[in-house]
Structure 1
Amino acid sequence: MMTKSALRRTYLNKRKNLDPGSIQQLTQAISANLTRFLRNKSFTTVHIFLTQARNSEVDTLKIIDALRDAFSNLRVAAPFVVPGTRDMLHFSISPGSKFIPNAWQIPEPDPAAELQVLPEEIDVVIIPMLAFDKQGFRVGYGGGFYDHFLPHCRPETWKIGLSFFGPVDKIADLDNFDVPMNACITPDGIFQW
């Protein structure tokens, strides 16, 4: 069993060793599995994080394009971190949306140009993560933004992670603030709890 900090180090290194071509291939496989997973679900609004390129994340702009192609009338929301807090606001984004990098160089929607989406309006949350375990818990970057946000969503909101890698057996230092996922999508398949 590894701790969150050890998993963060390990999986950040594993991701940084992926070349851009591999990231695109793995993203395409994740996108296909996510689309297949959502095919028979009822949803209108999907919240999805925007990729922080320096951390070799799944290319969520490609995921967004695939979801828009697969599901008509889909509303996509992206997070905006309220500076100096752990709070996030959520704004609708469209193919023409312009993004502004925040302090961590994560692209965010412009709150002055986009419509706000409330947490209770969100049907599916696509969550950033570094690693996950076989019980459905994830290790994020350690800021607690999603653990703070997810309890504000409806209980039936789907919480879905995207990972280039499969699960570890168990995360050693879970606490009461850790919110389990309903599913995690990898290039090789779908894990559901």
Structure 2
Amino acid sequence: MLKAELRKKYMQKRKALSTDEAFLLSEEILKRFLSYFNPEAGQKIHIFIPIEKLNEINTGIFIDAFLAENIRVFVPKIVGDQLISVEIDRDTVYETSSWGISEPISNADSGIHHFDYVITPLLYCDQQGNRVGYGKGFYDGFFQNISPASKKIGVNYFSPDEKIDDVWKNDIPLDYLVTPVEILSFFNGAE
């Protein structure tokens, strides 16, 4: 299927989830992430803050779990036409952006280019790790500027069952996908 078709289909599927269903599925995704990757104190995790009106994965529970374990947490912020990475802690002050995303007030880019994990938003991911987002390209640009050793991990309520037919040469695939029922690796055994 084409990205535009998949974007529409999976946006509708996501919006059909109740608040309770989305929260329970988010908890399952967090449990799978923690048990598989076992992040440790001092590691650096870049993670998105959800757009609640779009029923995105509840990453607030991820952030709380990471901060409780003294894991360094970074979140994206769009400044101009670029995605920067802002380090947060329990005292971070937020504001709502024009996208409806809670973002840190600070515009201070952390300057970090190596993250242990980059937890990435998406609407759909296929069996090869190709991602369908909102079509703005912010994460592809971000991926080009971080260390190749940073593990790019998509999180989604749904497992992949359809191929993306219009993958572009500048699209950067994910390394893993975590769903409520499975973790997929896209390294083809070459980790």
Q: Same fold by TM (over 0.5)?
A: yes
Please state how far the C-alpha of 1:154 moved relative to its aligned partner. 0.5
Q: Which position in structure 2 is the counterpart of 1:75?
A: 72
Runs of at least 5 residues in structure 2 that lack an aligned partner in the other structure: 187-191
1:71-123: CA deviation from partner (whole Å, max 9, x where unpaired): x331000111013x1x11111111221211111111111116xx532241322
For the aligned residue pairs, the C-alpha RMSD in angstroms reads 1.7
Give the direction of change, closer, same or farther, for the CA distance of 1:183–1:93 in structure 2 (3 Å limit).
same
- Give the letter for the 1:93 counterpart: I
Matched length: 186
* 1:183–1:192 CA contact under 8 A, matched in 2: yes
In 2, Cα distance between equivalents of 1:145 and 1:40: 25
* 2:43–2:71 CA contact under 8 A, matched in 1: yes
* 2:44–2:117 CA contact under 8 A, matched in 1: yes
Q: Which moved more, 1:118-127 or 1:161-170?
A: 118-127
* 2:129–2:177 CA contact under 8 A, matched in 1: yes
Secondary structure of residue in 1 paired with 2:152: strand
Q: Which position in structure 1 is the counterpart of 2:85?
A: 90
Please state how far the C-alpha of 1:66 moved relative to its aligned partner. 2.3
Secondary structure of residue in 1 paired with 2:113: helix
Secondary structure of residue in 2 paired with 1:65: helix
Which of 115, 127, 132 aligns to 1:134? It is: 127
Aligned ranges for residues 87-126 of structure 1 at < 5 Å?
Answer: 87-111=82-106, 116-126=109-119
* 2:29–2:179 CA contact under 8 A, matched in 1: yes
Runs of 4+ in 1 over 2 A off after TM superposition: 40-43, 66-69
Kindly, what percent of the aligned residue pairs are identical? Answer: 33
1:28-65: CA deviation from partner (whole Å, max 9, x where unpaired): 00000011121178971100010100110001111111
Runs of at least 5 residues in structure 1 that lack an aligned partner in the other structure: none
